[in-house]
A and B are shown apart, each in its own frame.
Chain A
Amino acid sequence: MRNRNNWLVLIVLLIIFSLWVDLSKKITIYNPFNDKPLVDRNVDVKLGLDLRGGLQALLEADVPAETAITSEELNNARNILQNRANALGVSEIVMQTAGDRRIVAEFPGVTNPEEVVATLKQTALLEFVDMGTNPLQPGSIIKTDFGIADPAAPGVDSPTATPSDPAAAPTETAPAETIYHTVMTGAGLQTASVQRSQTGAYQIAFVLKSDATNTFAEYTTSHTKQYLAIVLDKQVISAPIIENPITSGEGVISGNFTQEAAQTLAVQLRSGALPIPIKVVESRTVGATLGEESIRKSVIAGIIGMIVVILFMGFNYQLPGIIADMALICYALFSLMVFKLIPVTLTLPGIAGFILSVGMAVDANVLIFERLKEELRAGRNLRQAIDLAWSRAWPSIRDSNTSTLITCLILFVFGNTFGASMVKGFSVTLALGVGISLFTAIIVTRTFLHTVLDGMKLAEHPRWFGL
């Protein structure tokens, strides 16, 4: 009995908490001792590309199928592509590796998918750029003369480096029309690694290839005490000063690097060009109008579906049906809370999966209530019947839901390997729906039913149990 009251308290608290999460876009919990926020999270519903519009591209390593690709190479490629994409000024870009040779890139809300794809496909270009005495801040976007002006200018020409497509260049190009001179491209680098100076600061040591050594020696001799910027895909990564001429082909880039920043820069220097060539094998664009319409329609369908199920359960099972309806409303509240907290990206099939799981959520209750009727008909008293109904219906509920979860798992693996986020979204919401519905249909319904029974003398009214 005491145990049951504990459940009731827990359920009520969960309902209050879920209402709070469901109705807010952001949750903040303050620490009562120092008034600083303890938890500060954005809990807005995350919508998938099919609902908000945007571009999803599946990129694949453009190498023969039998060539193995290490996860490090793939991750490096992902990081570089991410940097490149960030320069486009699109917010909330998602880039994830999928399987062992693919990367899924998602660009919510873009209206110019052609340009985005063009930017991704272009080979990354690392340049050492002459900045004279006025270095630009890291992050600035610049124009260089590499590949545009005098073809003899760059010290070492790289066969893989191509000039950026003017159409693909970001619109917010920094300081108007200054064109910087490219001294050398990343193709001239042999290695780059992180080390610590005598003072303990992180710096990057690099070694040049022999043909680049001469170019670099000449240049650094004539430009000592000037700035030499390291530019990746036309974005300034760092602009160190040339302290001394570098004639040996070995040098050090120092600056206020954290260990992390130094590591990243070293990786970028080593793999200025992508570690693996990439091609676009799949591209999906959804217009924003289609997305908006889909959301509106799904929400309407969801609400109507809920109402129909609630009415049906109430008419079919009377009192237990109404209690199951209350549990169903809890189910909807809890699910939305879980979706917002994890957060689960909602796609159209994901919403379909959720609405479907509403239908399934009542199945556990249906199983129990049918069993309850049987036990009551067999002449047991109400309390006994309730306990028996729950314990005897459990194996069916367990086995049937397990088989659904197995299917969800296989769908998830499938969707994850192929970057099929629609399939993945469906499996995630259905699986969460199954899990949450087990809790609400079994524990919440039972607790509510006992609470109602304790309050009223219902044992004399079997009619209310649909008999």
Chain B
Amino acid sequence: MNIVKSRYVYFLISLLVIIPGIIFMGLNWAKTKDGPLLLGVDFRGGSLLEVQFEGTRPSAEDIASLYKEFSSEEQPIADPIIQSLGEDSFSIRSKTMTDETKGLIVAEMETRFSSRVIVLNFTSVSASVGAEVTRAAGFAILAAAAAILGYIWWAFRKVEHAYRYGTAAIIAMLHDVLVVVGVEAILGYFLGWEADALFLTALLTVIGFSVHDTIVVFDRVRENSGLYRRVEYEKMVNHSIVQTLDRSITTQLTVMFTLFTLVLFGGDSIRHFVIILLIGIFSGTYSSIFNAAQILVVWENREWTSWFKRKEEAAF
């Protein structure tokens, strides 16, 4: 089995997944002016109210006009975004409002629509906190990347070109981050999925796992580079990937199994979170088998010097 030979095909597959994601990030940005993703109240600030009606559920227009009545200069909550949750509930997103206003709105809903109203969930975040959390989230991702890069560099310090391993692992990790953020951007564009604190948690977990997987492959490369000094680098790397292939797939499957049970049985509130994790972990395994060690080979052969030549051949 030769997994290193057709490395450019695997790189191409990755690009085919990542590029649409980037396009949709741009489309989201053009649409909302907020950024590449639809941000949830955790990052953008605002209020999210999820209510269940025990009697008949009013129409979304009724709710919107009710919000308009309560809108004021300090709390401009008119024009909320209203989505159905199941048959009897709504999720309503608006600008930030206080608990007091929410209490008044819920009371008014009960009298006007003559139905008992159950507040399933209410989240209200001020815009300044949202902005700060967004900055900190970016910082958290960078800090994680830097810490992991440093650790790999240290763990592989006895191998020739230790920094190559760290850099390749970070590239593979960025690949997974782009896949996850891209998929979220696409889902946001079509289904209105918003990135919240849980999305950030999923993203950081994917980063951890991506590196986890890559390190197992690199560790084999490290071990084999001492054993097979006479063998060509490309062959040695391929051998290492093949040797760890069973493990990569088995681990991937067990994690996938547990995540699938969470998607199927784990309830609505974490479904987005788990689906993003599933995609990220799949991408992590893909990049550790088909991208990470291949980058080492590209680097070792300094292949970028002949990239244009290669392309001509491919076209032919």
A: residues with CB less than 8 A from B are: 50, 58, 60, 113-114, 117-118, 280-287, 289-290, 293-294, 297-298, 300-302, 304-305, 308-309, 312-313, 316, 348-349, 352, 355-356, 358-360, 362-363, 366-367, 370, 373-374, 392, 395-396, 399-404, 406-408, 410-411, 413-414, 417-418, 420, 422-423, 426-427, 430
Contact = CB atoms under 8 A, between A and B. Distances in A.
B164 to A, nearest CB: 16
A58 B124 CA distance: 10
B128 A356 contact: no
Interchain residue pairs A-B with the least CB separation, the first 5 = A407-B208, A114-B103, A359-B255, A297-B267, A301-B265
B198 to A, nearest CB: 6
20 contacts: A114-B99, A281-B126, A281-B128, A283-B98, A285-B121, A312-B254, A348-B270, A349-B270, A359-B257, A362-B254, A363-B251, A370-B247, A374-B243, A395-B222, A403-B151, A403-B152, A406-B151, A414-B200, A418-B132, A422-B198
A40 B124 CA distance: 40
Contacts of A358: 258
A366 B133 CA distance: 38
Given A360-B255, A363-B251, A406 B270 contact: no
A233 to B, nearest CB: 19
Given A281-B128, A281-B129, A370-B250, A410 B144 contact: yes
Nearest to B118: A287
A413 B143 CA distance: 11
Contact of A348 (B98, B137, B212, B269): B269
B241 to A, nearest CB: 13
B53 to A, nearest CB: 13
Contacts of B13: none
A329 B198 CA distance: 28
Contacts of A399: 151-152, 155, 215, 219
A352 B262 contact: yes
A362 B100 CA distance: 49
A225 to B, nearest CB: 45
Contacts of B52: 289
Given A290-B121, A359-B255, A407-B207, A366 B250 contact: yes
B123 interface: yes
A245 B27 CA distance: 77
Interface in B81-125: 98-100, 102-103, 118-125
A359 B259 contact: yes
Contacts of A426: 201, 205
Nearest to B212: A400
A351 to B, nearest CB: 8
A290 B147 CA distance: 38
A359 B257 CA distance: 8
A211 B236 CA distance: 88
A289 B200 CA distance: 26
B144 A407 contact: yes
B264 interface: yes
Main secondary structure on B side of the interface with A: helix
Contact of A359 (B122, B140, B151, B258): B258
Contact of A304 (B137, B256, B265): B265
B274 interface: yes
Contacts of B277: 356
B204 interface: yes
A355 B200 CA distance: 18
Contact of B143 (A283, A363, A373, A410): A410
Given A282-B129, A399-B215, A392 B223 contact: yes
A58 B212 CA distance: 34
A282 B98 CA distance: 9
Contacts of A117: 98-100
B200 to A, nearest CB: 7
Contacts of B103: 113-114
Contacts of A395: 155, 219, 222-223
B208 A406 contact: yes
Contact of B273 (A297, A312, A352): A352
B253 interface: yes
Contacts of A413: 140
B246 interface: yes
Given A282-B124, A284-B123, A352-B273, A367 B216 contact: yes
Nearest to B103: A114
A300 B121 contact: no
Contacts of B29: none
A362 B257 CA distance: 12
B156 to A, nearest CB: 9
B55 interface: no
Interface string B146-180: 01100110010000000000000000000000000
B208 A403 contact: yes
B204 A407 contact: yes
Given A309-B258, A358-B258, A403-B151, A297 B123 contact: no
Residue from the set A298, A309, A312, A400 with the largest chain B CB neighbour count within 10 Å: A400
Given A118-B100, A427-B201, 13 more contacts: A283-B124, A284-B123, A300-B265, A308-B257, A308-B261, A316-B250, A355-B258, A373-B246, A400-B215, A406-B144, A414-B140, A418-B133, A423-B201
Contacts of A305: 257-258, 261-262
Nearest to B156: A399
Contacts of A285: 99, 119, 121-123
A304 B261 contact: yes
B257 A309 contact: yes
Given A282-B129, A400-B212, A356 B151 contact: no
Contacts of B35: none
Residue from the set B155, B201, B250, B257 with the largest chain A CB neighbour count within 10 Å: B201
Nearest to B132: A418
Contacts of B126: 281-282
A297 B263 CA distance: 10
A302 B213 CA distance: 24
B186 interface: no
A363 B125 CA distance: 39
B266 interface: yes
Contacts of A392: 223
B154 to A, nearest CB: 10
Contacts of A302: 261
A359 B152 CA distance: 23
A230 to B, nearest CB: 30
Nearest to B264: A301
Contacts of A60: 129
A403 B255 contact: no
B17 interface: no
Contacts of A316: 250
A406 B99 contact: no
Contacts of B282: none
A401 B128 CA distance: 36
